[in-house]
Amino acid sequence: MINLMQLQRILAMFNARNKEFFRDRAAFGWNFAFPFLIIVGFGIIFGGETLSTFKVGIFPQNGVSVIFSETTIPQHFKNNSAVSFVAISTLEEGLDKIHYHKIDLLIDGRSSENRYWVNDSSPKSYITEQMYKAALQPDDTVAVDRNIINGEQVRYIDWLFPGIMAMNMMFSALWGVGYVVVRYRKNGALKRLKATPLTAFEYLSAQMISRIFLLMFTFTIVWIGADLIFDLKIQGSMLLFFLTFFLGGLSLCSIGLFLAARGTSEEFTSGALNFISWPMMFLSEVWFSLEGAPVWVQNISWLFPLTHMLKAARKVMNEGAGFTHIQLECGLMILTTIIFLTLAAALFSWNE
Amino acid sequence: MIDIPAYNKKMSILSVQNLRKKYGNSVAVEDISFSVRQGTCYGLLGPNGAGKTTTMEVVEDIIPATSGTILYKGRTRDIRFREEIGIQFQHTSLLNFLSVRETLHCYQKLFKHPEELDRLIARCNLDSILHKRNNQLSGGQQQRLMLALALVNKPELVFLDEPSTGLDPQSRRYLWEIVEDIKGNGKTIVMTTHSMEEAEFLCDTIAIVDQGCIIAEGSPAQLITTYCKTNTITLPLSVIENKLPALDIDFSLHGDSVAVRSRNVEETLRTLMAANIELKEMVVDSPDLEDVFLYLTGRKLRD
């Protein structure tokens, strides 16, 4: 159990770190400006339109890519370069994806009646349907089984917002914790603290709590600002949305602390942080969906806490998911936090 | 079970036995043993790279020893050690964006029994810089703050690693006054220094360290009488030049003066007077700690 003295020491370090953050005006300003500028920039450039190409889901498929020999998809449609195909295992999965505009058309690959589903709220779905029907030519009399799905389109800004916030959180957590701890170790500030009764656990806890407080503070301010400009649509609970970022922030901070547990070279730490953060940024669906990407890419993506944070956040924001739908992601983020924080505490060194 | 006697003030507050510290194949501290009585100032003197700072940091429990025993108040160091010691490092840093007052307040909160802030501020003369940020302090101001942090927990034992390095004479004298004051309050000080004047002024016992070993130990006076018994009598060359060949003295020429080395000043003076040498411009120099230091560690330049 943590006693009062330990709490006092954690609080002292927490206050000191927060003061540092708020008084470093350049870093403080940039923490707000960076995500805000990206969100505004993308909002203006893409004006709420989705970036994805025409995606057609084919079911039932057991593999990662569509096996066309098992389908009745017309040759012309298969060869259409404007269309990409996504293998879907069940009808339910496919309906879910078309409902949320993750795909533009869903086709029952084994249906002799050319059964398909369109989302009538999506212009892209309509265009894809026309391309599909054209591919069934020359026989105009070919029977089709047209099914309609309703589902409000997710604006790109609503899809992008969690991504930008998560990316900013990742950089802020990794660099704001990892890099700073290494700098303190190198200039002797940690050694000065070691000469007190402060323990590694207390110091790391204070760093973690301080950073998560600052991350959530920044997140809230940028969220309010972006909402005022873009009228962000959060389909699910705001509290749950906040929770996903809180847990994601914890897991990213713990990785930052782990990477900084022993490092003494700012250059090396910088390289290590880049090595972690860049793949995470590109493979965690910050900018684009990995729907239809090779399975090994998706497997790598699954290893990153950023992926789970984003999946959970988008489920809540774009799909209105409740806690039961994101409990796996939440559990994985908590597990990541425990593992990396334990490793960081075990490996932590105060000195060069 | 080993029966450890209860600590009393007549015992050594700090006892170091056969301390050794290696970094890979490089030996920083070969074999160092010493003990420090409560209420005294113990100084470690030595050339660069002698192992003074490494010894200090091992004893402070900042870095681990390779082997050896370190006892604080007769027992191995535990959590009480951290609560009861104060350290001023040679090289360290503080949080940049905090003011002096905030820094003191932050460190105060890390200890169970901290010193009153106002008292600490007055003692280390920090009043005028309380609202300055740590990165805006001059060298002397930084040293005073570092000393205040070392005293923030009313320590029983204070470690000062080259505390006056880079200070102007006024700041150095002020620092010495504070150290004297700490000692006057019954606290114990262990310090390293390059300044012989500082060591002679502050230390009750001095250990001269070279190549990871203590090569001499004692009070400044003891070290001088043990290792440097020779006084130097300096005379203008003009008053003695013609008589030098006839005199039975140990001398050397330095420009227009002659340095006569003597183990018995009275006897040498008698010899000079018997030779009718004018002694009006004579200067007699006694050996000091620097002479001892150079005698023991040599005059060759160290890295």
The number of helix segments (H) and strand segments (E) in chain B equals: 11, 14
Tell me what pLDDT residue B281 has: 87
Q: Are residues B68 and B163 in the same domain?
A: yes
What's the confidence (pLDDT) of residue B290? 84
Query: Given B225, B253, B277, which residue is the final one in a domain?
Result: B225
| pLDDT at res. B300 | 66
CB atoms B95 and A351 under 8 Å: no
Answer yes or no: is B266 within a domain.
Answer: yes
Cβ neighbours of A197 in B, within 8 Å: 79, 82-83, 110-112
pLDDT over 80 at A242, yes or no: yes
Total tally of structural domains belonging to chain B: 2
Q: Is residue B33 part of a domain?
A: yes
Quick one: pLDDT at residue A29? 77
Of B225, B241, B259, which one is at a domain's C-terminal end?
B225
Q: Which of A196, A205, A351 to mutate to test the interface with B (most CBs of B within 10 A)?
A: A196
Burial of A108 (0-12, 13-18, 19+ CB in 10 A): buried
Q: Note whether A20 contacts B: Cβ–Cβ < 8 A.
A: yes
Q: What is the band of A138 on the pLDDT scale with cuts at 50, 70, 90?
A: low
Q: Round to whole Å and give the CA distance between A168 and A215.
A: 9
Same-domain check for residues B238 and B158: no
Q: Indicate the length of chain A as a whole number.
A: 352
Sheet holding A115-119, edge to edge: A83-87, A54-59, A105-108, A115-119, A145-149
B117: pLDDT confidence band, cut at 50, 70 and 90?
A: very high
Distance from CA of A204 to the nearest CA of B (A): 15
Q: Is the pLDDT of residue B76 over 60?
A: yes
Check whether residue B163 and residue B263 sit in a common domain: no
Pick A50 or A214 by higher pLDDT.
A214
Of B219, B222, B218, B209, which is closest to residue B32 (Cα–Cα)? B209
- A269-282, pLDDT tens digit by residue? 888 888 888 888 88
Residues B276, B280, B282, B284, CA torsion sign: positive
Q: With an 8 Å Cβ cutoff, are B110 and A184 in contact?
A: no
Question: If DSSP codes are grouped into helix, strand and coil, which group holds residue A63?
Answer: coil
Q: Which of B208, B225, B242 delimits the end of a domain?
A: B225
Q: Inspect the interface and report whether the beta carbons of B112 and A5 lie closer than 8 Å.
A: yes
Can you tell me the mean pLDDT for B150-172?
90
Of residues B235 and A125, more confidence is placed in: B235
Residues B213 and B239 in one domain: no
B270, B195: one domain? no
Decide if pLDDT at B19 tops 90: yes
Q: How far apart are CA B166 and CA A277, in angstroms?
A: 43
Interface probe for B, chosen from A4, A25, A190, A192 (most Cβ of B below 10 Å), is A192
| Alpha helical stretches, state H, A155-287 | 156-173, 180-187, 189-194, 200-230, 238-259, 266-283
Contact B63, B54 (CB under 8 A): yes
DSSP bridge partners of B234: B259, B283
Statement: residue A246 has pLDDT above 80: yes
For residues B279 and B240, membership in a common domain is answered with yes
Q: Against a cut of 0.80, is the pTM above it?
A: no
Q: Look at the alpha carbons of B170, B175, B177, B180 in this order and tell me if their dihedral is positive or negative.
A: negative
B54 and B118: one domain? yes
Q: Which pLDDT belongs to residue B6? A: 63
Instruction: Say if strands B188-193 and B157-161 run parallel, antiparallel, or are unpaired.
Output: parallel
3-state secondary structure of B225: helix
CA separation for the pair B194, B210 (Å, rounded): 13
* Contact state of B62 with A8 under an 8 Å Cβ cutoff: no
- In chain A, pLDDT over 70 holds for what percent of residues? 91
Are B106 and A13 in contact (CB < 8 Å)? yes
Let me know whether B217 and B239 are in one domain.
no
Q: Which residue in the block uniquely carries the two structure tokens 């200890």?
A: B111
Nearest C-alpha of chain B: how many angstroms from A85? 55
pLDDT of residue B203: 94
Domain of residue B236 covers 230-286
A15 interface with B at CB cutoff 8 Å:
yes
Output the six-digit token pair for A120: 């009538």
> Token match 């039961």: residue?
A324
Nearest CB to A188: which of B93, B102, B112?
A: B93
**Is B82 an 8 Å CB contact of chain A?**
yes
Residue A153: its pLDDT value, please?
61
B298 domain-assigned:
no
Tell me: the pLDDT tens digits for B82-103?
A: 999 999 998 888 888 899 999 9
Surface-to-core class of residue A138, CB atoms within 10 Å of its CB (0-12 exposed, 13-18 middle, 19+ buried): exposed
Structure tokens at B207: 């250990």
Region of A31 on the Ramachandran plot (φ > 0 left; ψ -120 to 50 alpha; else beta): alpha
* In the predicted structure, residue B5 carries a pLDDT above the cut 60: no
The number of CA neighbours under 13 Å toward the Cβ of A223 is 19
Cα angle A122-A126-A132, degrees, rounded to a multiple of 5? 140
Q: In terms of domains, do B210 and B63 share one?
A: yes
Phi, psi of B18, deg, nearest 5? 50, 45
Between CA B97 and CA A180 the distance in angstroms is 13
Report the alpha-carbon distance of residue A68 to residue A71 in Å, rounded.
5
- Could you give the ipTM of this predicted complex? 0.82
Question: Nearest CA to B51 among B75, B70, B31, B24?
Answer: B31
- Residue B66 shares a structural domain with residue B196: yes
For residue B163, whether the previous peptide bond is cis, meaning omega lies within 30 degrees of 0, is no
- Domain boundaries along the sequence of chain A: 4-46+155-347, 54-149
- List C-alpha distances in Å: B206 to A215, B12, B209: 53, 15, 9
Q: Mean pLDDT of all residues in chain A? A: 84
A78 — pLDDT class (breaks 50, 70, 90): confident
A139-153, A255-269, B1-15: which has the highest mean pLDDT? A255-269
A61-80 mean pLDDT:
78
Which 58-77 residues of chain B touch chain A by CB within 8 A?
A: 60, 62-63
Residue B300 lies in a domain: no
- For residue B11, the model assigns a pLDDT of 75
Query: Which residue of chain B comes nearest to A183, CA vs CA?
Result: B93
B250 and B194 both lie in a single domain: no
Beta bridge partners of A108: A59
Nearest to A125 by CA among A102, A144, A109, A142: A102
- State yes or no: pLDDT of A176 exceeds 80: yes
- pLDDT for B101 equals 96
Same domain for B133 and B168, yes or no, is yes
pLDDT at B91: 81
CATH number of the domain at B198, please: 3.40.50.300
